[in-house]
Amino acid sequence: MNCVIHRRAEFSASHRYWLPELPESVNQEQFGLFTQAPGHGHNYVLYVSLRGELDQYGMVLNLSDLKKIIHQEITSQLNLAYLNDVWPEFTKTLPTTEHLAQVIWQRLANQLPLVNIQLFEHPQLWAEYKGAGMEAYLTVGSHFSAAHRLALNNMSYEENCAIYGKCARPHGHGHNYHLEVTVKGQINPRTGMIVDLVALQKLVEEIILEPLDHTFLNKDIPYFADIVPTAENIAIYIAQLLNQPIHNLGAELHRIKLIESPNNSCEVLCSDLPNSSSTFPKLVSEPALVG
């Protein structure tokens, strides 16, 4: 029987984004506050994912052995360290979250059957590396608050209630939406980034969060005049808006995850979607779970 297991570990470390060959003004333009000396710190959370066949003891790998390897090769060396100086890989390429995930993979790969390294710099920013050369994933989290009503305009109130339940009530209801935007790209061999993080966060803020926050989606956003603003359709709409701008930054929009409530979330995988938002399907979903 083949299984995937995950091991969690933690370490605290500091780093600085600064390229000595660039003028101070260029460093500040490219990295913003991350350039400030002597650096800044994070409480990193690491998930190491392995795949393998179960042994006679019902394990992919003895967890005590796994814990020892991660401690010896990774956390004992990185904890309370200044990342720019701790490993030789970071003298050539900055210790960004995505590059750090790649280097952790490289340092564990000869001992463990890895399938994924996921590294949280903080709860709203994390990277994943799956062993595909210089390709990595970066996720930024954010949130907005909005109201909506789930109802089709060409159906009666009773018919809408039969499909959407309480969510069809005429005055709508609200959610504190949590949004995760995941991009995919090649790690730059000098900056360690797959995308300009400051530009990506600004893009999400200006294109998504500011226009959607504290709106009644059905009334305030023209797209939802005839499209039911289910979590699924909101995620598709966000993907439409972000796909081309993220492509313009030099990365690829990989996934939109929208958490409507602790009980209801959805994901839209965007890797195969065309760069032009005009070709997205305008869908009306019939959600399996509403409210």
Q: Which residues are catalytic?
A: 167, 214, 260
Q: What share of the chain is helix, strand, coil (3-state, %, to 5)?
A: 35, 30, 35
Strand segments (E) across the chain: 2-15, 40-53, 81-82, 114-122, 125-129, 135-148, 173-186, 215-216, 252-261, 264-269
Question: First vs last Cα of the chain: how many Å apart?
Answer: 38
Burial (Cβ within 10 Å: 0-12, 13-18, ≥19) of residue 235: buried
On the CB side of 261, how many CA atoms lie within 13 Å of its CA?
A: 10
Q: For helices 231-248 and 197-204, what crossing angle results, to 10°?
A: 140
